[in-house]
Amino acid sequence: MKSRWSGILGGLFLIVVIAANSPPRAIAEEFVRVGVPLYPTVSFPFFISNARGFFQKNGLKVEIIRINSEPTTYQALISGDIQATSGSPSGFVLTNLQDAGLVALGSWENIVSYSLVTREKVTGLSQLRGKKVGVNRIGGKSSLILRVMLEDAGLDPFKDVTLLQLGGSQERMGALMKGGIDAAPVDYSLEPAMKKMGFFVLEGRKTPFMNSPIVIKQSYLQSRRSTVKNFIKGYLEGTKYLVANKEGTIEVLARELRIQDRETLEYTYEHMRANADVTLYPPEDSIRNLLKMAAYVDKRASSIRPEKIMDYSILEELGQKRPALSQK
């Protein structure tokens, strides 16, 4: 009997020794799919967090899917094909008017991200009268932002200019090159390339705008709160890395945007760094402008209170302090 127990104890001791000297097992990963625009500069912290291992460190396996349509993005979110999205702000508001049960958890970039590029040099928006201007689609983000800009300049966007639906920034850039349009809002990262090709960029003030809300379903937040918390934690780490690590960010930019021109990469990075809000708390005027723009499509958006579409509870749990300016 003694010999038998000695053998059992010896075996247990061996198991303990092996376990103690074995490498730690990786945390079981949870899978999260994220939808981003086809040209995804406004969603870039997702790429940084994925490429630099911040999502993985927090127990997540994240797949980033590029979708070139706001309606398709939100259909995928509602159906559960993706669990989160960023970079389609007007679609977020308009979809939520249909009782979609969506909520934004924060936003890292809160200014208009478009540059207005023209074939001929203009010194003011009023000179676009009678011109053809390309947008993604009527009611899409670029057309809504352009509408605000034109109305501020005293123009009627549906009478004084001709709006043409052409798709994303790259499609609008192509139409400018072919001479099919006179002007278009394009992603700021394309500005250096457009200038090199002889086009002009109309300088103007940057309008506050919640450009990159991280949007999920409220039901997903309720049922998978720990997953969402880890997701936002990884996203925050990626945003802070973006601001602090120029070369590491540029490396990811070059790969994901398929751009090798150093001037364009540096210009894009400096814009990101200068306008990044690492707290993820969007200023109130950026939310108000988003609701104002959405109200151009559906007047009900003007009556939405910001607290109805924003949920900062995860940021608060992670110890993120709200900047004083956003408490106006």
Residue 148: alpha-carbon gap to chain centroid = 21
Q: Which of the listed ranges 89-93, 202-206, 244-248 does the model predict with the highest average pLDDT?
A: 244-248
Over the stretch 168-179, which tens digit does the pLDDT of each residue have?
Answer: 878 888 899 999
pTM above 0.85, yes or no: no
What is the DSSP code string of 113-136?
Answer: -EEEEESS--SSGGGGTT-EEEES
Residue 124, amino acid: G
Between helix 262-275 and helix 225-244 the angle, nearest 10°, is 120
In the chain, the percentage of residues whose pLDDT exceeds 90 is: 60
pLDDT, residue 142, reads 76
Residue ranges per structural domain of the chain: 30-110+210-327, 114-202
| The listed CATH number (3.40.50.300, 3.40.50.2000, 3.10.129.10, 3.40.190.10) that belongs to domain 30-110+210-327 | 3.40.190.10
Which residues in 289-325 are b (16+ Cβ under 10 Å) and which e? Answer: bbbebbbbbeeebeebeeeebbbbebbeeeebeeeee
SS3 string of 52-77? CCHHHHCCEEEEEEECCCHHHHHHHH
Sorted by sequence, the CB contacts under 8 Å of residue 201 that are 6+ apart come out as 115, 116, 117, 118, 191, 194, 195
Token code pair at residue 9: 């104890």
pLDDT band at residue 13, thresholds of 50, 70 and 90? Answer: very low
pLDDT, residue 325, reads 54
Sorted by sequence, the CB contacts under 8 Å of residue 287 that are 6+ apart come out as 210, 306, 309, 310
Q: Do domains 30-110+210-327 and 114-202 have the same CATH topology?
A: yes
Q: What is the mean pLDDT of residues 174-200?
A: 89
pLDDT, residue 28, reads 60
Question: Do 114 and 186 meet the contact criterion of CB atoms below 8 Å apart?
Answer: yes
**Side-chain half-sphere exposure of 73, counting CA atoms within 13 A:** 29
Over the stretch 44-76, which tens digit does the pLDDT of each residue have?
Answer: 999 999 999 999 999 999 999 999 888 899 999
pLDDT at 160 over 80: yes
CATH class assigned to 114-202: alpha beta
**Residue 279 — φ and ψ, nearest 5°?**
-80, -25
Token code pair at residue 194: 């457009």
**Residue 172 — φ and ψ, nearest 5°?**
-70, -35
pLDDT, residue 207, reads 78
